[in-house]
Amino acid sequence: MLKLASNSLMPKLDPTVMKDWQIAEAAEKYMKPVSELTDELGILPDEVIPMGRQLAKIDYNKVLERIGDCPAAKYIDVAAITPTPLGEGKTTTSVGLIDGLGKLGKKVTGALRQPSSGPTFNIKGSAAGGGLSQCIPLAPFSIRFTGDIDSISNAHNLCMVALTARMQHEHNYDDERLAKSHLKRLDIDPERIHMNWVIDFCAQSLRHITIGKGGKMDGFETESGFAITVSSELMAILSVARDLKDLRERISKIVVAQSRSGKDITTADLEVDGAMTAWMLDTINPSLVQTIEGNPVFIHAGPFANIAIGQSSIIADRLATKLGDYHVTESGFGADIGFEKFWNLKCRMSGIKPDAVVIVATVRALKMHGGGPTVKPGKPLDEAYTQENLELVENGCGNLIAHIETVKKSGVTPVVCVNGFYTDTQAEIELVKKIAIENGALAAYSQHWLKGGDGAIELAEAVVKACEKPHDFKFLYDLEDPLKTKIEKIATQVYGASGVDFSIEAQKRLAELEQDDDLKKFGVCMVKTHLSLSHDPDMKNRPKSFRLPIRDFLVYKGAGFIVPIAGDIKLMPGTASNPAFRHIDVDVNSGKVTGLF
């Protein structure tokens, strides 16, 4: 670990007066060289792929082939309650837990998702953590990093180039001319295109566009649009692929469109799957960063949990669980979506079972769920959130209890982490811990944002205790269950819905999907708001007597799951009126990025 505590710099790292980027910039002067970090992990020099002076990728295949079948680390997932729009510090808690376990003398690793430029330059900011509980180097981590998201964008958009060019040529050429071009007619139905273009920003004006306007040499005119890159099936594939061969096979199975006769048109049909894999080749290896306290964190994949699988990669977990005693990963948003997908998709595909699950809660979010005033990004918090109010906290704990019950259904012990804010009172903290314990969880208060690993020791001790408890991990549904049954189990047993309503279009798609033998054993990756247990972001706490509306389905044959779309959620977020990019700049004298958070 970095011994910053004995350094004269350490007292100056005060998150109450310093911004995250200022703390990161100060801490980066004392970063471990990548070679020291990899030496401590037992990674050999020829297994390290340098990516500049501060970053590296790790040749996971070489490492796993060399170390073989060694004991696996205790495996911990970090989830949360339903957050406010401000977020409740789940990544910050993940980093704090990593450092807290390090303070206990544990050999610990982490695996987190790569920040998307969408949130980084919008409202939420980077996914590097915060305060004294963050990953460094901050600017490279938050902007460009090692190029994985750019490669995914390019591979995805290359597929769209192949599709739209093919549509143009098939429209303009007769069969004889197609044959001379060594093409067979795919007869693509322009009304059944299943992919859009992608860009890694929140660009609401690109959700619905028309392409191909002009003459016949300018493409085939059709309705199209953009999604955010992290929602791409390629990002999901990177999350769940076990190795390069698996990645290549999955890319070839991506369904891009359908023919007029209803036949799937895949990337292999377009003969673009190999070139897409070439773009994705360097993404297969996880990247390595470190916490402020010098603990290693693998960064690999970056999908959102409300519109995608929401997990860092199986490859990173396979690697990291062989290199340490404790391994901490994170699932996006609340336990209803992030942990549910970790539980029923990622763990099923990886074969790695968790030993404990942390549920991050804040007094602020519990007050909101208990009936507190609306919380809006960029607006000052109402005094209800800064003054003691035990009634609001207790009322809002219904949401916490729902998430505890969800984790317990998996057979794993939940640990409720009260992520400390300076406005929390002791009575509020103790009330949350009491309710958590009464409902079958362990509980801890953590001040990692303020104190780093020292502030997370109580949390780390609770996690170690949870890992030692016996557990009987089991999935919520069987892959052999009918698709409708899988959806109903998630809706009723995790979200608390009384049932599921399918739109007319969704009913038709459901009937088609249940007749497709290729999909019989696919898991379910629900698209749903992260701001409520229900489909409606305005329904707070623990909604009752609601029915989950499914309006449509996506099919990710490459990733291996079916994606029901619940409610009015979009695959392309929008940029707000006061986005983070207004405050990000570069110091022209030092060349350092300023203003990141």
Catalytic residue flag (residue 561): no
Question: Rounded to an integer, what distance in angstroms lies between the CA atom of residue 222 and that of residue 212?
Answer: 7
Cβ atoms of 38 and 288 closer than 8 Å = yes
CB 100 within 8 A of CB 457: yes
Are 405 and 439 contacting, i.e. CB atoms less than 8 angstroms apart?
A: yes
Choose the catalytic residue: 38, 92, 109, 164: 92
Dihedral of CA 100/30/331/313: which sign? negative
Amino acid making up residue 220 = F
Residue 112: closest CA among 132, 97, 131, 101: 97
Say whether 124 is catalytic: yes
Q: Where are the beta strands (DSSP E) in 508-560?
A: 523-524, 547-556
**Number of Cβ within a 10 Å radius of residue 323:** 22
Catalytic residue among 279, 333, 343, 546: 333
Q: Examine the residue annotation and report whether 121 is marked as an active-site residue of this protein.
A: no
The active-site residue out of 121, 226, 421, 561 is 421
Half-sphere exposure of 504 (CA within 13 A, CB side): 0
Tell me how far the alpha carbon of residue 61 is from its chain's centroid: 23
> Is-catalytic flag, 164?
no
β 585-586/593-594 pair status: antiparallel
Three-state SS for 315? helix
- Residue 449: active-site member: yes
Among residues 305, 441, 456, 559, the one annotated as catalytic is 305
Q: Which of 57, 90, 322, 364 is catalytic?
A: 90
Strand partners, 76: 328, 356
Does the active-site annotation cover 376?
A: no
Given the residues 141, 201, 449, 597, select the one marked as catalytic. Answer: 449
Q: How many Cα atoms sit within 13 Å of 319 on the Cβ side?
A: 32
Residues 6+ apart with CB under 8 A from 317: 75, 111, 327, 329, 350, 352
Q: How far is CA 100 from CA 24, 103, 107, 203, in A?
A: 19, 5, 11, 38
Beta strand segments in 270-413, E = 287-291, 296-299, 326-330, 356-361
Separation of first and last alpha carbons in the chain: 24
Catalytic residue, candidates 106, 113, 248, 253: 113
22 to 6, 199, 295, 359: CA distances (angstroms): 20, 29, 20, 29
Q: DSSP states of 219-282 as a string?
A: ---EEE-EEEGGGSHHHHHHHH--SHHHHHHHHHT-EEEEETTS-EEETTTTT-HHHHHHHHGG
597 is catalytic: no
Residue 238: its H or E element: helix 233-240
Which residues share a beta bridge with 227? Answer: 198
Active-site residue among 106, 124, 367, 542? 124
What DSSP element (H or E) covers 211?
strand 209-211
| 288 vs 21: CA distance, rounded Å | 19
Q: Angle 457-468/90-103 helices, nearest 10 degrees?
A: 80
The residue assigned the tokens 């808690």 is 93
Per the DSSP assignment, residues forming a β-bridge with 75 are 327
To the query of whether residue 90 is one of the catalytic residues in this protein, the response is yes
Supply φ then ψ for residue 344, to 5 degrees: -95, -15
| Count of other CB atoms within 10 angstroms of residue 472 | 8
Catalytic positions, please?
90, 92, 113, 124, 305, 333, 421, 449
